[in-house]
Amino acid sequence: MGHSLKRKEDARFIQGKGHYVDDVKLPGMLYMDIVRSPYAYAKIKEIDISEAMKVPGVVAVVSGRDLEKYNLHWMPTLMSDTQMVLPTDTVMYQSQEVCAVIATTKYAARDGREAVRVSYEPMKPVIDPFKAMDPAAPVLRTDKPGKKDNHIWHWAAGDKEKTEEVFSKADIVVKEQMHIPRIHVASIETCGCVADYDKVNNHLTMYMTTQAPHAIRTVIALVAGHVGLTEEKVRVIAPDIGGGFGGKVPVYPGYVIAIAVSFLVGKPVKWVEDRSENLQADSFARDYHITAEMAGTKDGKILGTRFKILADHGYTDASANPSKFPTGMFSIATGSYDYDTTYMECDAIYTNKPPGGVAYRCSFRVTEAVHAIERITDRFALEVGKDPADLRMQNFIKKEQFPWKSPTGWIYDSGDYHAGLEKAMEALNYNDLRREQAEKRAKGELMGIGISTFTEIVGAGPSKDFDILGIKMFDSAEIRVHPTGKAIARFGTKSQGQGHETTYAQIIAEELGLPAENIAIEEGDTDTAPYGLGTYASRSTPTAGAAAAMAARKLRDKARKIAAYLLEVSEDDLEWEPGKFFVKGAPEKAKTIQEIVFAAYTNHPQGMEAGFEATHYYDPPNLTFPSGAYICVVDLDKETCEIKVRRFVAIDDCGNIINPMIVQGQVHGGLTQGIAPAMYEELIYDEQGNILNGTFMDYLVPTAVESPKWETGHTVTPSPHHPIGAKGVGESPTVGAPPAIANAIVDALAPYGITHLDIPITPYKIFKALKEKGVF
Amino acid sequence: MTKNINVTVNGTQHTLEVEPRLLLVHMIREVLNMTGTHIGCDTSSCGACTILLDGKSIKSCTVLAVQANGKSITTIEGLAPEGGPLHPLQEGFKENHGLHCGFCTPGMIMRAHELLENNPNPTEDEIRWGIAGNLCRCTGYNNIVKAIQWAGCKMRGEETPSTEPEFV
């Protein structure tokens, strides 16, 4: 632990020998391409497949009516809603799947897709979520008997009356309306699968871009068990995955259609979406309209917060959240500050847009929560006339106050927010920057400094509160050491680039003293890996990492017994140092772990099981609470309104660090995925529900030019309840960065009385805001 | 309707019968079964398909296989013999943590290859602009730049910088 070990998995990737889903080629494999709706809301009048069936190589065209025969045309979502696999009469969003063409080659499938003729009767779609709330709005979910509106559910947390009282009596109340728009994970590898049903053995192998292979296997068995695909007949293999970020958690219709077709024809069926389909139809993320309010004293003490959200879910609630949390972990929005009063509520609404949302590197809506609290905190600082750093220091929960119970009931495990912000301020010479800013303002130059100090909530989660479709969110590790002292360990998680083959080996190496190079790590094959809920929401280190340590400790206990037997002493006479047990006071009388393991196979004590293997299923007692202090410095060009990020310092606290190089890599990547929504990315729809930027031409994923030279550091407050004190870090940067950048830009514009701008903040938005203030 | 073409791939001559519309990236991945070159978009924006065509880095999703007739292409598999020794760029990416999921990596390395060939000692800005046609979602680019700088050093015969991560 604590070493920047180079990654073991890199060897195959740098030589072009990674094994991704689109690399899977099986004998007799068929290719699937999907016909999609050009309309956001329409009745399907007719699907004419006659021309498509004439295309050489086309084998079949599958529609909703075909799936209806097997009751597979609708499927459940993770949030107890329902989603169409293929429609039988109505399409609900532009690019929705309408029918699937199966052919012997990729190009024939595409030719077939172009030859299918669908006639539609377009209807006026409901795109604006506020209009969808109107009682006069058309009811979209006519498939739900008795449904009279577009409202999905209402959620609330906190104390409504107490909050009203605090707000009514407070010196200062600030309020801002914020929209956190739709964005897309846009991992460089799109989603796809090869569904391979073997009719002879009644067995399905599903190669799939999935972050949660076991959950998928169970879902397949629940949905298709009635046609014979029971759980022991299904094998899900997640091979190398080219980025997940939450986008490869949901079950998209394409996967289900591929399984259905393979089942019917008994041949492998490959479906890999192209980028346009990925951006236009896969689950989106975010799309929260938030009214954020903060109440406090004129001296800057925060007394309470209030948040009201309208959540646009598209045509069905296909969110990927633990089942009891429709707004994910949004209730962490009280933030890093010491106050006890809050009220938050959310209404979810249907619109004619793709369904969702996915938890895009956000720990289940923590991006939205932190954006709201950090923006409104800066707004409050502006109102009371205090420096935003001072105001935060004044209000932070103090190190001694942990474990700290938040107003919405979370028990923050540990943290030192003061140390984090101090370190960030020191790294940038914060006071010098403020002096520089004052000088520049006097000359009319626009320079801004933005701070974001966030508390994250990850590691879902303890069984008493967390489940996905009823399956508890534990995770697992299984370690087996061979006679010659080398090991293999398997996990219920699934890396999509996070480096588990290296970091899990490091955890086990630390506990057992076996070199990390001698520990092979495997994930992703449900036939061999122990059951787990997968990798997303920064949960791998908190759950499976803990399981690795606990399983390794079981092995160390067994090793102690064998060592005592070999050295002919009692267990109490032995001491452990990484890699060996030795007799107290006689260090030359020792046995290495390799000697002990060999003995487990060749000379084990009578009455003990032979072999050297242990499994642990870890049920975390609490979530973990990483935190961070980010500071961003921007310079705005007054004529072009161009934004230049001059510096960005990120201080993260993820508890004990397994591999500093990998942690830093995660922070870099997350920061770039944080500047993206802050300045560049947004999925834009017009009133007809047409997506205006559904390709990489117009959906602006940052390149190396837009991505700043990130500066990173850390503080360390170990998690007291985690076996190795680690917390997880993958999503902290995507959570913490957008408000830091937004706060910096708004700070630069403060002299003009501009108090808020919605992300993505573009030069055009700045121009419009300045124009309204009479600058242009 | 098919056409006969001759293409040298990583030093080996191939004679193939292809549809005129076959994309070069599909010729590499599907006909020759070399899957190290990846597809990440449909608008030539992402660069995951980058290979060398007569030494120049090109996006193989936007070139037809027939356009490679009589020419020589190099893919990631051809940068170094299988199992090593690695090309300095490959080594640089591993030593400097220049990859996470690995999907953009072959394209990124092939782009960097031409970049360093034309500009053996590039500034950081020149590197960032030079790889602006290659998207990465995982790394945040800092370490990709570092990897390319490291490889440049090695290829110039200079001492390579430390690969330990730097923190504030």
Q: Which residues of A touch B135 (CB under 8 A)?
A: 188, 696, 701, 703
In a domain, A80, yes or no: yes
Q: What is the pLDDT of residue A78?
A: 87
Interval A359-370: pLDDT, tens: 999 999 999 999
- A762 assigned to some structural domain: yes
- Whether A570 maps to a domain, the answer reads yes
Contact assignment for B102 to A9 by CB distance below 8 Å: yes
- Domain finish residue from B41, B59, B78: B78
A638 shares its domain with A519: no
Last residue of a domain, one of B78, B111, B139: B78
- Give the domain CATH number at B109: 1.10.150.120
On whether both A431 and A483 belong to a single domain, the answer is no
Instruction: Give the position of tokens 């990484």.
Output: A578
Is B70 within 8 Å of A5 (Cβ atoms)?
no
- Single out the residue in A578, A596, A618 at which a domain terminates: A618
Closest alpha carbon within chain A to B39: A189
Can you spell out the DSSP letters for A97-144?
EEEEEEESSHHHHHHHHHH-EEEEEE------HHHHHSTTSPPS-TTS
Q: Which of A696, A707, A712 sits opposite B41 (nearest CB)?
A: A696
pLDDT higher than 90, residue A296 = yes
pLDDT in tens, A176-202: 999 999 999 999 999 999 999 999 999
Q: Provide the shortest C-alpha distance from residue B39 to chain A (in Å).
A: 7
For chain B, how many structural domains are there in total? 2
Contact A270, A30 (CB under 8 A): yes
Q: Is residue A449 part of a domain?
A: yes
Q: Is A734 on the interface with B (CB under 8 A)?
A: no
Residues A574 and A668 in one domain: no
Indicate which residues of A carry an active-site annotation.
211, 361-362, 731
Q: Which residues of chain A have a CB within 8 Å of the CB of B131?
A: 703-704
Which residues from A are below 8 Å from B48, CB to CB? Answer: 188
User: Same domain, yes or no, for B54 and B92?
Assistant: no
The CATH number of the domain holding residue B8 is 3.10.20.30
CB-based contact A334:A404 (threshold 8 Å): no
Q: Check whether residue B13 and residue B70 sit in a common domain.
A: yes
Which of B18, B61, B101, B127 should we substitute to test contact with A (largest number of A Cβ atoms within 10 Å)?
Answer: B101
Residue at a domain's end among A281, A299, A320: A281
State the pLDDT at residue A333.
Answer: 98
Of A497, A649, A705, the CB nearest to B128: A705
B15 touches A at CB < 8 Å: no
The token pair that represents A386 in the structure block: 């205090």
Report yes or no on A472 lying in a domain.
yes
Question: How far B70 CA sits from the closest chain A CA (Å)?
Answer: 25
**What are the tens digits of pLDDT across the range A566-609?**
999 999 999 999 999 999 999 999 999 999 999 999 999 999 99
Of the pLDDT bands very low, low, confident and very high (cuts 50, 70, 90), residue A223 is: confident
Q: Is B105 on the interface with A (CB under 8 A)?
A: yes
- Which of chain B's residues have a Cβ under 8 Å away from the Cβ of A245? 137
Binary contact (B140, A107; C-beta < 8 A): no
In a shared domain, residues A598 and A500? yes
Q: What is the pLDDT of residue B83?
A: 76
pLDDT category, A256, cuts 50, 70, 90?
very high
CA closest to B91 among chain A residues: A14
Kindly state whether A713 is in contact with chain B, defined as any CB-CB distance less than 8 angstroms.
yes
Structure confidence at residue A225 (pLDDT): 87
Interface of A with B in 105-134 (CB under 8 A): 106-107
Q: Taking 80 as the threshold, does the pLDDT of residue B84 lie above it?
A: no
Give the separation between CA A651 and CA A667, rounded to whole angstroms. 10
Of A618, A637, A654, the one marking the end of a domain is A618
Complex confidence, ipTM: 0.98
Cα separation, A292 vs B49, whole angstroms = 44
| Domain identity same for A475 and A441 | no
- Is residue B113 less than 8 Å (CB to CB) from chain A? no
- What is the residue whose two structure tokens read 């242990």? A614
- What are the pLDDT digits (tens) for B22-38? 999 999 999 999 999 99
Q: What is the mean pLDDT of residues A335-361?
A: 96
Same domain for B112 and B58, yes or no, is: no
Is the same domain home to A628 and A614? no
B22 and B59 inside one domain:
yes
Which residues from chain B sit within 8 angstroms of residue A11, using beta carbons? 94
Reported pTM: 0.97
Q: What's the rounded mean pLDDT across residues A729-756?
A: 97
Quote the minimal CA–CA distance from A660 to chain B in Å: 7
Distances from the Cα of A265 to the Cαs of A24, A58, A204, A258, in angstroms?
Answer: 19, 13, 12, 11
Distance CA A617, CA A574 (A): 28
CA A340/CA A406 separation, integer angstroms: 7
Residues B94 and B49 in one domain: no
Do residues A680 and A703 lie in contact, with contact meaning Cβ atoms separated by under 8 Å?
no
Residues A575 and A629 in one domain: no
pLDDT of residue A776: 85
| Cross-chain residue pair B38–A10, CB shorter than 8 Å | no
Structural domain contains residue B161: no
Region A620-625: what's the mean pLDDT?
A: 97
Interatomic CA distance for residues A562 and A596, integer angstroms: 6
CB-based contact A757:A458 (threshold 8 Å): no
**How many CB pairs lie under 8 A apart between chains A and B?**
200
Q: To which residue do tokens 């303890």 refer?
A: A462
Q: Over 80: is that where the pLDDT of A466 sits? A: yes
Using the predicted structure, report yes or no on whether residue B132 has a pLDDT greater than 90. Answer: yes
The C-alpha atoms of residue A87 and residue A42 are separated, in whole angstroms, by 11
Nearest Cα of chain B lies from the Cα of A352 at a distance, in angstroms, of: 25
Q: How many independent structural domains does chain A possess?
A: 3
State whether residue A146 is helix, strand or coil. Answer: coil
- Indicate if B56 and B8 belong to the same structural domain: yes
- Predicted confidence (pLDDT) per residue in A717-731, tens digit: 999 999 999 999 999
Peptide bond before A462: cis, by omega within 30 degrees of 0? no
Interface of B with A in 24-53 (CB under 8 A): 26, 29-30, 33-43, 45-46, 48
Look up the domain containing B20 and give its range. 3-78
* Pairwise CB contact (< 8 Å): A14 & B167: no
Residues A629 and A522 occupy one common structural domain:
no
A657 contacts in B (CB within 8 Å)?
none
Residue linked to tokens 């080659």: A105
Is position B42 within any domain? yes
Q: Residue A694 domain-assigned?
A: yes
Task: With CA atoms as reference, report the closest residue to A533 among A464, A463, A457.
Answer: A463
Q: Please tell me whether residue A131 adopts helix, strand or coil conformation.
A: helix
What tens digit of pLDDT does each residue of B107-120 get?
A: 999 999 999 999 99
| Shared-domain flag, residues A560 and A608 | yes
Query: By three-state DSSP, how is residue A99 classified?
Result: strand
Residue B120 falls inside a structural domain:
yes
Q: Which domain holds residue A515?
A: 467-618
B60 and B103 within one domain: no
CATH of the domain at A582: 3.30.365.10
Q: How far apart are CA A669 and CA A186, in angstroms?
A: 13
Whether residues A660 and A611 share a domain: the answer is no
| Tens digit of each residue's pLDDT (9 = 90 or more) over A541-565 | 999 999 999 999 999 999 999 999 9
Residue A399 lies in a domain: no
Could B102 and A697 be called an inter-chain contact, meaning their C-beta atoms sit closer than 8 Å?
no
Same domain? For A528 and A667 the reply is: no
Q: Are residues A689 and A763 in the same domain?
A: yes
Rounded CA separation A462/A619 (Å): 6
The answer to whether position B162 is within a domain reads no
Do the Cβ atoms of B45 and A242 come within 8 Å?
Answer: no
Cβ-in-10-Å burial (0-12, 13-18, 19+) of A243 comes to buried
pLDDT of A722: 97
Contact residues, chain A, for B35 at CB < 8 Å: 16, 19-20, 22-23
Measured at the CA of B11, the angle between CA B9 and CA B17, to 5 degrees, comes to 35
- Backbone φ and ψ of A480, nearest 5°: -130, 125
Alpha-carbon torsion (A433, A439, A440, A442), positive or negative? positive
Q: Which one of A188, A190, A273, A663 would you mutate to disrupt binding with B, by most B Cβ within 10 Å of its Cβ?
A: A188
Shared-domain flag, residues B71 and B39:
yes
Which chain B residue has the Cα nearest residue A19?
B35
**Which B positions 52-91 lie with beta carbon below 8 A of chain A?**
75-77, 79-80, 82, 86, 90
Q: Using a CB–CB cutoff of 8 Å, tell me whether A660 touches chain B.
A: yes
Structure token pair of residue A690: 């047409």
Last residue of a domain, one of B78, B109, B144: B78
Mean pLDDT of A367-375: 98
Banded model confidence at residue A357, pLDDT cuts 50, 70, 90: confident
Residue B27 lies in a domain: yes
Within this chain, do residues B69 and B112 fall inside the same structural domain, yes or no?
no
Q: Looking at the domain assignment, is residue A166 inside a domain?
A: no
Same domain for B92 and B150, yes or no, is yes
Q: Are residues B31 and B50 in the same domain?
A: yes
